[in-house]
């Protein structure tokens, strides 16, 4: 997968949405914007001051997971970590409630990365199956509602067997 492919955009934006929902926020939708020459997606999340920073970390955390799981490799002559970090510029600024054009300090960047890794990555790992389903739907329809995302989460919870010892069939 290449950075900024349609599938990559789906993973990035849906992970903002899943982090938002998991932390008690609301998602209107994740959609591809019609007014751009390139595919560009946006997650329309309603947050509060308590979860806003972690929701901003969701996209970068998504990229970390994809990279560490081997789905993203060397990109256009740059190391993947440089590409991921540059791609998260807006998210990093939002995390610190700054203008997207602001220059961040090394301390601010480190805080963002640590927060993404410690808080958002575990949420994303927990919903990998659900996000995969949502990615396929978003790629196909170019929009997925927050209600549909919650439905995917609920349906997947129902399909998980809750027997205490599933390997023994008990």
Question: Domains in the chain, please, with CATH?
Answer: 6-168 (1.20.58)
Backbone angles phi, psi at 2, to 5 degrees: -105, 145
Q: What is the pLDDT of residues 33-75, one digit of tens each?
A: 876 555 678 899 998 888 888 888 887 777 778 778 877 766 5
Tell me the C-alpha to C-alpha distance, in Å, between residue 31 and each of 4, 86, 141, 170.
Answer: 15, 22, 9, 43
Q: The pTM is what?
A: 0.79
């Amino acid at each position: 997968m290449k950075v900024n492919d349609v599938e990559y955009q789906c993973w990035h934006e849906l992970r903002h949405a899943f982090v938002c929902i998991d932390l008690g926020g609301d998602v209107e939708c994740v959609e591809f914007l019609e007014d751009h020459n390139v595919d560009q997606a946006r997650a329309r999340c309603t947050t509060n001051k308590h979860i806003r920073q972690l929701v901003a970390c969701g996209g970068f955390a998504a990229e970390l997971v994809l990279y560490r799981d081997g789905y993203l490799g060397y990109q256009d002559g740059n190391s993947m970590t440089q590409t991921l970090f540059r791609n998260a510029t807006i998210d990093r600024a939002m995390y610190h409630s700054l203008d997207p054009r602001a220059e961040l300090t090394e301390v601010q960047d480190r805080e963002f990365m640590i927060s993404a890794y410690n808080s958002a990555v575990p949420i994303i790992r927990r919903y990998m199956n659900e996000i995969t389903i949502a990615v396929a739907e978003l790629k196909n329809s170019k929009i997925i509602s927050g209600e549909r995302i919650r439905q995917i989460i609920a349906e997947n919870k129902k399909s998980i067997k809750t027997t205490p010892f599933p390997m023994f069939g008990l």
